[in-house]
Structure 1
Amino acid sequence: MVLGAAARAVLSQAGRRTGTEFAPLGGRQWTRLLQTSTTTDLKSRVADMIPEEQAKLKELKTKYGSVVLGENTLDMAIGGMRGIKGMFWETSLLDPEEGIRFRGWSIPELQKKLPTAVDKGEPLPEGLLWLLLTGEVPTKEQVSALSEDLKARAGLPGYVHDTLQALPKGAHPMTQLSVGVMALQSESKFAEAYQKGHSKKLYWDPVYEDSMNLIAKLPELAATIYRNTFKGGKLIPSDTSLDYGANFAHQLGFDDPEFYDLMRLYLTIHSDHEGGNVSAHTVHLVGSALSDPYLSFAAGLNGLAGPLHGLANQEVLRWLEDVKAELGEQELTKEKIADFVHKTLASGKVVPGYGHAVLRKTDPRYTCQREFALKHLPDDPLFKLVSLLYEVVPGILLKGGKVKNPWPNVDAHSGVLLQYYGLTESNYYTVLFGVSRAMGVLSQLVWDRALGLPIERPKSITSGWIKDFVAKQGKK
């Protein structure tokens, strides 16, 4: 978005005051920040930024409030509001050609710029969290301070363990995660502050505290669910010498340094995917009613649990197993893979992991996972199968002429990497997704309250209204 002179003046003033450079990006001006501030306290940095961001939003509303963003059609209304531009979401933007950008930065750029735990390793999720909340690429010192803050906030109350134990045996891991988050809701700082008549202008403060507390506790909650469900309930204590992603992997029961780095990558790339997807939109919608972050995030998790959203990577793995079962011990070739793909399509099914509602190119989240596999597991049989599919499937889908995007998305690859390192319980994978997604949606929720965004209330219409409207338009 190109901002007007007043907004640029605000940004320039802010830059002079904080030493921050506001850089143009491919024709999109003022969309990302190169960090030079020295504070290592994330909350203080957010607090400093709020007046500037409020001024920017006010100018946008004043100068451009009447700008038409696009036309809505009946197909859009009936088809899940697909493509309707009707939501303000700052933390990320999904471009059909370039893929996801976090605060203006692409995944390859962030792999180079964000601090890492090991040389030439994957970005630390704490660094991405700083970026999502501020738009600024953090220093190593800022990431270290944030990591220590999250460690101080971590730790599950005993009653959460009791709540999980009270669930029926065999409860889906996502059900357990949602219930665990709801159990934590009794600790909400925002709910407490609201009851006491907290100033509306300062709603962001307790929302920030809730969000950071929840992000800090999610790895242990998720690891507890994994160990209870699949490992006989033997829990592994936190190791406070480790960073956020590595400690999560450790509590799951995996201490391979390569898996640590995979978890850092996984948590980073799944954190946000602009605001219109089900989980992100749900958190924003529920939060707009001033429900606290625990209530809002639990609602988003319940959307993430759907097979058309977060469960999609399970569908990919099942289909890959079908491919292996069909072809047996035969040597995999492009011709044999193509035959199986044609059979899948002829039966009325889709090829899971291919296509995307918005993207029109290969998902960059798929690409970075492929690069990780080429680096660490190039000879893995399942990875070789996925690579063959990458060479075969897009061409077949293109020839069919019905698919707008024949390229693979993130779900086509993530399960393969997890399987290789021994995390084979595919119905748990969406829990990992949920832990990651918290960073994006809760960062935006903090800014929703800081900017005073109102309750969401789109207009719905009936079939009778549609017919009357069309008839009136015809008369005109």
Structure 2
Amino acid sequence: MGRTVEQEQSLSVRDNRTGKTYTIPITDNSVSATAFKAISAPRVKNEREENETDKGLRVQDKGFLNTAVIRSEITYIDGEAGAYLLIYGSLPSAAQFDVFQKEVMHHSVVHADAAPFFRSFRYDAHPMAIVTSALAYLGSYYSEANPSLQGQTLFTKGDENSLAIMDKQIYRLIGKATTLAAMAYRVRQGRDFVTPPTGLSYTGSFLYQMDHLGEDDYRPNPVLEKALDTLFLLHADHELNASATTVLQTGSSLVDPYSAIAAGCASLYGPLHGGANEAVIRMLISIGKPENVPAFIEAVKKREKVLSGFGHRVYKTSDPRSFIVRKTADEVFKITGKDELLETAMALHEAAMKDEYFIKRKLAPNVDFCGLIYRAMGFPLDFFPVLFAVPRVVGWLAHWRQMMLQDGGVKIWRPRQLYVGASKRDYVPVGERVAVEGLRKTPTAVEHSGISKRKALASFKGKAEAKL
């Protein structure tokens, strides 16, 4: 007797603990994690209560290595090809593009109160810290965009009014992303802020706001403008990476989009994500000349050094974006001159691609080598993550919008854990407790100096007596 279609598109799981067999449907080559909750068993002798064995099986996936958390129509990465982003699901008509472009550029201007906010940061504050804070700050101006104030269904209804409010926030965030980034840049330069110009492209306006010092009819170099536009397109989205997932995790509480995007920016700040292209340049600087590459390669193999700019969680061959980056780099170098680290980068690339150690581990070059372009264009190292964050705002918003409008509404993301800590413990009075020793088991004492040290030695009314 032949099998039915339902039987073919399912998973048969036999629980050897109980002898029961369960049939779990396979949809789009995936199984529902909650289906495994039906697979329960009695606890065995001396088994931990915290395992919750009688409440069903849990699926463990540290780092989301093989867990799909949402159905998406935005970006597909197969590890061998590229990626694309369409906020509204299709390419726009001429009229649709005109509306979108005009609205984004119209909403690029920020409130005058933003100036003292930016000036409140120290001159040496990291620009990513400034931009992350500014994105969250931005939400305080738009109460109409806050579901906490306007109702939980503000963005999830999907009716004409709801979509109009959603689109307005999208225009604002994309339009103001370059303005906030440019203001963070100007803080570091000690310069006045520049009002977004009219008549320039998105990246042209960005360069203008960073560099204009009052010259008449100032226009950024078209090659640099085009290069930045290309890199922005490449960085706009990359499926459910760490920052996009952070936006969705945060957005699942139905917080306003400004807070969700700020959370994504904070995630992007990390050296394993958006900070990687900055790490590449720092690595190349540490290597120095091409003749130092062999020694560096050997140090990486011994795990004495960290290799940045190679390997990717998804791509198992060369990141396809890296080929476009290389072409863009050639165009930029024609007018800026080659970066002095280019030869070192190419020597490192060639050595790694021929070395069996890297071939086995599929550590091919990835897109983070675009830092060489940013460096040639004169951007400081710590501004590289900002140049990643600005275009990625578009991708984050696309995923956020899709989640708000998904069938069945939005459910707050609440992953499970496997609790492996201590079971129930009796309370012990502080005087009877025995200290638990160990590097990770005890707080580290801070060695104070300066005013803190002198205060500790001083006497004054109300000073707490030392207690053992």
Structure-2 separation of matches of 1:178 and 1:78? 29
Q: Please identify which structure carries the higher helix content.
A: 1
Partners of 2:358 and 2:364 within 8 A in 1? no
- Of residues 78, 92, 95 in structure 2, which corresponds to 1:95? 78
Taking the TM superposition and a 5 Å limit, the aligned residue runs for 1:92-241 are 92-98=75-81, 100-103=82-85, 132-139=86-93, 142-188=96-142, 190-192=144-146, 195-197=149-151, 200-202=156-158, 203-229=162-188, 231-241=189-199
Q: 1:165 to 1:400 in 2, by over 3 A?
A: closer
Q: Given the alignment of the two structures, is residue 382 of structure 1 paired with residue 341 of structure 2, yes or no?
A: yes
- 2:365 corresponds to: 408
1:346 lines up with 2:302 in the alignment: yes
Which structure 2 residue ranges, 5 or more long, are not aligned? Answer: 1-24, 37-56, 213-219, 423-468
Residue of 239, 259, 264 corresponding to 1:295: 259
Q: Distance in 1 between matches of 2:307 and 2:137?
A: 38
Partner in structure 2 of residue 278 of structure 1: 242
Choose which of 439, 464, 474 in structure 1 pairs with 2:394.
439
User: Per-residue deviation at 1:426?
Assistant: 0.6
Residues of 2 paired with 1:214 and 1:399: CA distance? 44
How far off its partner does 1:318 sit? 0.7
Secondary structure of the structure 1 residue equivalent to 2:125: coil
Secondary structure of the corresponding residue to residue 316 of structure 1: helix
Q: Is the 8 A contact 2:123 2:187 kept in 1?
A: no
**Identical-residue share of aligned pairs (%):** 27
Cα distance change, pair 142–211 in 1 and its aligned pair in 2 (3 A): closer
CA contact (8 A) 1:278 1:304 kept: yes
**Could you give the per-residue CA deviations for residues 200-232 of structure 1, whole angstroms, max 9, x where no partner exists?**
514544333222211111111100110111x21
Which amino acid letter does the alignment assign opposite residue 455 of structure 1? I
Q: CA deviation at 1:144?
A: 3.7
Please, what TM-score do these two structures have when normalized by structure 1?
Answer: 0.69
SS in 2 for 1:428: helix
Distance 1:291 1:193, change over 3 A: closer
Q: Is the 8 A contact 1:69 1:85 kept in 2?
A: no
Structure 1: tracts of 5 or more residues without a match: 1-61, 104-131, 466-476
Q: What aligned pairs does 1:63-82 form with structure 2 within 5 A after superposition?
A: 64=27, 68=31, 77=60, 79-82=62-65
Distance in 2 (alpha carbons) for counterparts of 1:140 and 1:251? 27
Whether 1:361 and 2:317 are equivalent positions in the alignment is yes
1:127 aligns to what?
A: none
Larger Rg: 2
The alpha carbon displacement at 1:304 in A equals 0.9
Corresponding residue of 1:118? none
* CA contact 2:309–2:365 (8 Å) conserved in 1: yes
Change (3 A) 1:313 1:148: same
Aligned counterpart for 1:395 among listed residues 341, 346, 354: 354
Structure 2 Cα separation of the partners of residues 214 and 338 of structure 1? 45
Question: Could you tell me which amino acid in structure 2 is paired with residue 241 of structure 1?
Answer: G
Aligned position for 2:208: 250
Task: Out of 344-353 and 372-381, give the one that drifted further.
Answer: 372-381
Query: Structure 2 CA distance, aligned partners of 1:152 and 1:302?
Result: 26
Q: Distance in 2 between matches of 1:206 and 1:375?
A: 41
Superposition deviation, residue 165 in structure 1: 1.3
CA contact (8 A) 1:174 1:428 kept: yes
Does the C-alpha gap of structure 1 residues 133 and 417 become closer, same or farther in structure 2, counting only changes over 3 Å? same
2: CA distance between counterparts of 1:383 and 1:135? 39
| In structure 2, distance between residues paired with 1:359 and 1:350 | 19
| Residue matched to 1:86 | 69
Which secondary structure does the structure 1 equivalent of 2:287 belong to? Answer: helix
Q: Residue 113 of structure 2 aligns to a residue in which SS?
A: helix
Residue 354 of structure 1 and its aligned partner are, at CA, apart by 0.5
SS in 2 for 1:102: coil
> Post-superposition shift, 1:66?
10
Alpha-carbon deviations, 1:404-460, whole Å to 9, x = none? Answer: x2101111x21100111222x111111111111100011121121122332222222
Residues 244, 399 of structure 2: 8 Å contact kept: no
Residues in 1 aligned to 2:150 and 2:70: alpha-carbon distance in whole angstroms: 30
